[in-house]
Structure formats: structure tokens, C-alpha cells
A and B are shown apart, each in its own frame.
Chain A
């Protein structure tokens, strides 16, 4: 367990040394989402209806932006070999990398989203629901994106390939994430949507670390 904590701490420290990388991701999220009210115009009904979908899609794209460096940086400077040679399971290392990615991407995106939702004219209750769905759903994005990042390691144009791999896999998360917010706004069952979202995140948690570890071992060969 100490190795797991050490890896999370190391990655967080690296992000701390280069806060610009995270700032770009969050700025992208802010700019991309505020373009919609500007482009569509001040039609409160339309905006409120599309808000959840737009914010969820933008969060997904923002998370993808930072994913292509998740393992590539370690691959290029040789620290991936040290992870492969660490005397504890590589699956835990994969989980630690995704965990650190979520702390610096998914978590701030979820906390930022309610403030952006104001621009779409969402009710306070819906804003909180939006933050809740992102808090529950973004770990799945980090894990699935981590798998795509590991699989595309060392490939040319890995960024585009990564998006192509990760986006379809993120569709269920996207549907139930924005669906939950919409359910609350239209009087549907918010709890059921959130439960499915949580289940998707747990399935990702239970499966992707093994797949990521296998992909990393392959990349190390």
C-alpha cells in the first residue's frame, strides 16, 4: 500500500510543479461550455435542457486532453520501467496513476461544473445534482481513459487514437451522467440513474487496472 500512496503523491507533486497543465484543462472546460450559451443565444428553455449534456461532454473532452501524457511521460523518461520493476502489483500502480489523474482533473471539473451551470440557467438543486453525477462518473472516465492511454502508448498520433478508443467506451457513463441530471429536471428517477452511474464506475474500477497493467507490460517489452 505504501507504494500506491507514494505513486499518487509523486504524480500530484509533478502536477504541482507544472500547474499550467491542469490549468489548461480547466480553462478548456470553462471556455468550451460558455461557448454554448453564447452560440445558442439567451433562450433559457433550450439552454436548461441541453446544459447537462453539454457540461458532461465538455468534461469528457477536458479529461481526454490530459490523458495522453498519463503514461507517455513515464514511458519516455524510463520511469515506467521502475514501475514495472516495483515489487508490488502493477495493477495497483495503474490504479494509482488513474487515481492521481482523477484528483487533478475529475474532481476539479465536478467542483467547477455547478458554477458553469449558472450560465445555462439551471436551478440550484439541479446544479448540485450535476456536481454529484460528475463526482460519481468522472472516476470511470479516468479509468477508461487510462486504459486507452496505456493501449496507445508508443503509437504515433497517440492523442487522436486515444480519443477514438476512449470516447465510445465512455458513452454509457455519459448517457447516465447527463440522464440523471435531466431526470431530476423532468421529474424522473434521479437516484436510479445515479446508481447505474456508480455501478459503471465500479465496473471500471474492477476491470480496467488489470487491462492497463497488461497493456503497460506489453509496452515495456
Chain B
């Protein structure tokens, strides 16, 4: 019945007493990408965090396949893959351990068999056994992106996914994102740079 899996209506958020955005409405269909653009402090990260229910919106609603996501927050969180401006990696664990630990934390079945393809997608096999604290910023970002791919979640929420990535890594990201969208996935990405993947744009003022 609902033609769009994700429907956001009249969303408003307040941070530190200041309205970040209000009356924000959009829908997102299967295989669609939404790029969030806007100046620093325009609320891109706040919107992503509100969608993930990490920030409580002041007003508005978020529906997934016709159901309010706040009715079943755990099921909703299970549908999300999150990439924040912090990578969410443990410096003392290796790349492979980080990816497997994150997947197990989601309560997912063992991911060993899927690990290789996620590593290969971001050219990480040579780094798989290295502790994350020895990696460069770009290598960490690639590891975090591999974690997003590994979750197989239908909705990706990405905050500045291209940060610190070099040209080959950016193209690896585009390939992974296109594959996700082609498989019917959805993605919302806050970005300053052109993502290089066709999609809709939402400008936050």
C-alpha cells in the first residue's frame, strides 16, 4: 500500500534551544539515494541522528513501510547501517576483528563468510590483520564503510562518507553504494562533495 518504504513528515529538531530544522518532509523509495546538503551547522548530522532515533525529534513522524518506527525501535535499528563522523572502531582490535565484533553486536549470525567480500570491496585484505590504531584516517574510513556493507541493512545513514578517502577509495565507495541501491536498498548521506551516484538532493538551510 505504501509506495515509499521511508516516509518522513513534518520533522522538527531543536538543539541547545535553537531550531535546527522544522516541517521537514520527504519520502524515499527502494533503490533511491538522498544526498543531504547544506552549510556547516545546517542540521545534516542532526537529521541523520534523528532518523536513527539517537536524537529525539521535537515534532513529526518517521514511518517505515507504513509503520511508525518509534513503535518498534529495535526492529528499526536493525534496518539501519550507520556511519557517523566517528568511525566506531576499536583501535586495539584488528580490521577483521572490528568488523566481526560490530556484526556480532548487532546480534547477527556469524559473518565470517561475508567478511571477505566486504574487505575486498574496500581493498582491505592486506590490512585485515592490522590493529586499527596503526591505520591512517582514510584506511579507518574504508574499514568503517566495510562495516556498513557487512550489515546488509536496507537503509544506510552516512555522515560525510567521502571524508579522508582517496580517489580509488571514493570509487570503491561509489561501486558499493550503487550495488546497494541496485539491490533495492536506500541510502541517506550528508555530504559536501558530489557523491558521484545519481540521486535526489535535500538542501537544509
B contact face: mostly helix, strand, loop, or mixed: loop
**Closest chain B residue to A1 by CB distance?**
B107
- Interface residue A38 (Cβ < 8 Å from any Cβ of B): no
Number of A-B contacts (CB under 8 A): 76
Q: Is A82 a contact partner of B54 (Cβ separation < 8 A)?
A: no
Q: Give chain B interface residues in 17-66, CB to chain A under 8 Å.
A: 49, 52, 54-56
Q: Is A77 a contact partner of B86 (Cβ separation < 8 A)?
A: yes
Given A81-B84, A85-B82: A2 in contact with B93 (beta carbons within 8 A): no
Given A85-B77, A89-B74: A78 in contact with B106 (beta carbons within 8 A): no
- Interface residue B114 (Cβ < 8 Å from any Cβ of A): no
- Interface residue B160 (Cβ < 8 Å from any Cβ of A): no
Inter-chain contacts of A87 with B (CB < 8 A): 74-75, 77-78, 106-107
Q: Give chain A interface residues in 184-211, CB to chain B under 8 Å.
A: none
In the complex, what's the smallest C-beta–C-beta distance from A83 to chain B, in angstroms? Answer: 7
Q: Give chain A interface residues in 1-60, CB to chain B under 8 Å.
A: 2-3, 6-7, 9-10, 13-14, 17-18
**Tally of contact residues, B, Cβ under 8 A:** 28
Between A76, A79, A85, the greatest number of chain B beta carbons within 10 A of the residue's beta carbon is seen for A85
Inter-chain contacts of A82 with B (CB < 8 A): 82, 88, 102, 105
A contact face: mostly helix, strand, loop, or mixed: helix
Q: Give me the interface of B with A, judged by CB distance under 8 Å.
A: 49, 52, 54-56, 74-75, 77-78, 80, 82, 84-93, 97, 101-102, 104-107
Known: A81-B84, A83-B105. 12 other contacts (CB 8 A): A3-B104, A9-B104, A10-B93, A13-B97, A13-B101, A18-B92, A77-B90, A86-B105, A87-B77, A220-B54, A221-B49, A221-B54
